[in-house]
Amino acid sequence: MKKVFRFLGPYFYLLPALLIIFVFRFLPMLYAFRVSFYKWGMAGAEKFVGFSNYINIFKDSNFWQTFGNTLYFAIGVVPGSLFISLFFALLLHKSIRGARFFRTIYFLPVITSIIAVSMVWKWLYHPNVGLVNNLFHLFGCRGFNWLSEWRGIFQMFFSSFGLGIPIKGPSLALCSLIIVSIWKGLGYNIVLFLAGLENIPSQYYEAAKVDGATQWQLFRFVTLPLLSPTTFYVLIMTTIIAFQMFAYVWMMTGPPAGGPLGTTNVLVYYLYDHAFNFSRYGYGTAAAFILFVIILTLTLIQRKFIESRVFYG
């Protein structure tokens, strides 16, 4: 009997947390999965439609546009956030005067409300009174309609030289949101990289310097391998957050859905629009589960091909 209690004892300690997760996470997910198979309106379930919601989503050209926009957004945010945050973390890791002050400054955007950040950046991007265009005018350059320009950045660049190319790229409006997203999450990633840098034992650097290693070699063969667990974590979390982007689209370029010609419409905004603006809850829930599968697939791919290169020391 004592062996039974000894075996079950830890599970009793976990039971309260497991019940909370089951009631407030697992059960709603099961219920939402059920809703995705119905034509579900304001009054509840109207008709069982099976996989029709999923099939209609894949037939919708707007879905594929939002999927492409989301990919563009993730491709811009993930590497940009990784490299920039690592660069500033390396600077702040050094013993410089006022390092704590700079660490605080870089982290302030993280704790600032997304609504406030969106409103400030919307003013900065204003075509007439915005600070960004005024800086361009100061150097004799013309400004842009940052949040209302539907043309792709590659199309804009090559057309300025009188060249036409079939590749348009992400719209200028979407690139503007990418910049805001990188700036907003920069401080959080800097803190993570700083923690990883602090955990690297100094004797590795001392031994490498004795062998005549240069600063680049120290970074390439000591810092990067020992920082790889932190880099891998930041990569996965930044990717997940990028695919869940919604607030900037809503606050800075919408409604109507997705800003100029839908070029800033992303997957989360797409499912929100159908579920809450058009009251197609079954359709919106199906889109949410498609997004879940996309994020899960990308995470598994990252773990499969990247985690094997992570050095856990």
pLDDT digits (tens, 9 = 90+) for 81-99: 999 999 999 988 876 777 7
Number of domains the chain contains: 1
Residue 131: give its domain's CATH number: 1.10.3720.10
Summarize the confidence of residues 226-242 as an average pLDDT.
95
- At residue 33, does pLDDT exceed 80? yes
Residue 257 has pLDDT above 70, yes or no: no
52 domain residue, yes or no: no
Read off the tokens for 284. 């919106």
Range of the domain at 210: 59-309
Q: Is 163 exposed, middle or buried (0-12, 13-18, 19+ CB in 10 A)?
A: exposed
* pLDDT value at residue 164: 67
Q: What is the pLDDT of residues 102-125, one digit of tens each?
A: 888 889 999 999 999 999 999 999
Residue 188 lies in a domain: yes
**Residue 57 binned pLDDT confidence (cut-offs 50, 70, 90):** very high
Q: Which of 234, 256, 252, 269 is nearest to 69 (CA)?
A: 269
Cite the DSSP H helix spans in 36-165. 52-59, 61-93, 99-111, 114-124, 131-138, 153-159
In the predicted structure, residue 5 carries a pLDDT above the cut 80? no
Q: Name the residue type at position 156.
A: M
Is pLDDT above 90 for 51?
Answer: yes
The yes-or-no verdict on residue 77 having pLDDT over 90 is: yes
Domain contains 1: no
Mean pLDDT, rounded, for 136-154: 89
Rg (CA), the chain: 24
Residue 21's SS3 state is: helix
Q: Which residues pair with 41 in a beta bridge?
A: 44
Q: Give the CA-trace dihedral at 189, 192, 198, 200, to 10 degrees.
A: -100
Report the pLDDT averaged over residues 279-291.
95
**pLDDT confidence tier of residue 3, bands split at 50, 70 and 90:** confident
pLDDT of residue 46: 84
Q: What is the mean pLDDT of residues 10-35?
A: 91
For residue 304, being part of any structural domain is answered with yes
Looking at residue 245, its amino acid is M
Residue 225, preceding peptide bond in cis (omega within 30° of 0): no
Q: What is the structure's pLDDT at 113?
A: 93
Tokens of 259: 């800003």
Q: What is the mean pLDDT of residues 245-274?
A: 88
| Res 155: pLDDT | 83
Position 260 pLDDT exceeds 90: no
Q: Report how many helices (DSSP H) and strands (DSSP E) the chain contains, helices first.
A: 15, 2
The sign of the dihedral angle between the CA atoms of 24, 29, 30, 31 is positive
With beta carbons less than 8 A apart as the criterion, state whether 251 and 114 touch: yes
pLDDT at 245 exceeding the cut of 80: yes
Q: Which two tokens stand for residue 110?
A: 């993280």
In a domain, 19, yes or no: no
- Does the structure show a pLDDT above 70 at 136? yes
**Residue 150 forms part of a structural domain:** yes
**Residue 179: inside a domain:** yes
Length of the chain: 313
Euclidean distance between CA atoms 283 and 295, whole angstroms = 19
- DSSP character string of 227-273: HHHHHHHHHHHHHHHHHT--HHIIIII-SSTTSGGGTT--HHHHHHI
Vertex 290 angle, CA 231 and 178, to 5°:
45
Q: How confident is the model at residue 100 (pLDDT cuts 50, 70, 90)?
A: confident
Contacts of 199 (CB under 8 A, 6+ apart): 226
Q: What is the pLDDT of residue 291?
A: 96
Mean pLDDT of the chain: 90
- Average pLDDT for 169-184: 94
pLDDT at 166 over 90: no
Side-chain-side CA neighbours of residue 2 (13 Å): 0
- The answer to whether residue 78 is domain-embedded is yes
Give CA 113 to chain center in angstroms. 16
